[in-house]
Amino acid sequence: MLRIELKESRPGYAQFSAVNWKGGSEVEVSIQRSQDHHYFAQDNQWNTEPVWHRVTQLSVVDGILQGELGPWLVDALVQQNANVQYQMMVRDTHAVDNVVTDRGVLKMVGNILASSASGDTSRVSDIRHEPITVAPTMPIIEEPEPIAVEPEVITEPPLETETEPMAVPVTETEKPKSKLGLLIGGLLLLILAAAAAWFFLLSDKSVEPTEVKPSELSACSIQAASDDEIAFLQRCLKSNPDDSQILALIAEAKKANKCGIAQRLYANKAQGGNAAIALAYAKEYETAAANSCFSADKETAIYWYETALEADPNNAEAKARLQELKK
């Protein structure tokens, strides 16, 4: 099986390489997409039957078929949905006997641009095949503290009287009235204190935080996903989730039929050297899945098992599954 890559170059062009090629440099290629298993024909047309394209100006060095491919293919690939994967078949057209034919999953590396970009590098990156650039944190703009404005105190002028008020002498009979006023004032203070305490307790209960489930607060919860899947994945991966959280999110995404999130997470982590995620990704393609996001594809399963072994050469499960699939 070939390890095929297209790496970013100038707009409309990509560097092609096919490792483990055992044929010559005069070849034809056929490209099949995973979406509907149709084959690329020309001018972004896709047929149900294989279409072979002659590729020139390639060379073979140490078992690697390599060269540059142009807009005839690059433009068609980058215009497809980001979730689509491709399988390329290569056959040697120069050999008379024992024609060499091989295939492999096509891996797109870097920000490959269509020829129409002409220097514009703003195309959204395909997260399946390259690391997610975490969006920089937006600066927090602190609101200025409100300026306290002292209320204007309006004092009423004293009432003018024609005559001075007469002083009323305090007699002994008025003293009991003074004590009664103190008692009433004390009682009012106690009532106010009790009311304040009651209000404080009531207010404290009213602001008691409600219990929130951890998944609802997590940046990697499927409930936090928006229509912009890339922005959601950037926020999620910025929180550095572990493997168990990644696999849990993938499971949630499959249940919610958000296949783009599941596929992008799988490919991003697997291509980044995570053997456990690559192993789980391979299993999705080995058997018919119970969801609409993945379908059985032996060659794709082999590719991701091999990717898992690259990251962890001693992975016994990946070795065993590869031996079984290659029988």
Write down the pLDDT at residue 6: 94
Write down the pLDDT at residue 197: 61
Assign 111 a pLDDT band (cuts: 50, 70, 90): confident
> Does residue 175 have a pLDDT over 70?
no
Write down the pLDDT at residue 98: 61
Assign 299 a pLDDT band (cuts: 50, 70, 90): confident
> Does residue 90 have a pLDDT over 70?
yes
Average pLDDT over residues 86-111: 82
Comparison of pLDDT for 214 and 67, the residue scoring more: 67
Write down the pLDDT at residue 315: 92
Of the chain, the percentage scoring pLDDT greater than 70 comes to 68
> Does residue 318 have a pLDDT over 50?
yes
Assign 191 a pLDDT band (cuts: 50, 70, 90): confident
Three-state SS annotation for the chain: CCEEEEEECCCCCEEEEEECCCCCCCEEEEEEECCCCCEECCCCCEECCCCCEEECCCEEECCEEEEEECHHHHHHHHCCCCCCCEEEEEEECCCCCCCCEEEEEEEEECCCCCHHHCCCCCCCCCCCCCCCCCCCCCCCCCCCCCCCCCCCCCCCCCCCCCCCCCCCCCCHHHHHHHHHHHHHHHHHHHHHHHHHHHHHHHHHHHCCCCCCCHHHHCCCCHHHCCCCHHHHHHHHHHCCCCHHHHHHHHHHHHHCCCHHHHHHHHHHHHHCCCHHHHHHHHHHHHCCCCCCCCCCCHHHHHHHHHHHHHHCCCCHHHHHHHHHHCC
Write down the pLDDT at residue 55: 92
> Does residue 289 have a pLDDT over 70?
no
Comparison of pLDDT for 174 and 192, the residue scoring more: 192
Assign 95 a pLDDT band (cuts: 50, 70, 90): low
Average pLDDT over residues 253-270: 86
This prediction has a pTM of 0.46
Residue ranges and CATH numbers for the domains of the chain are 3-117 (2.60.40), 216-325 (1.25.40)
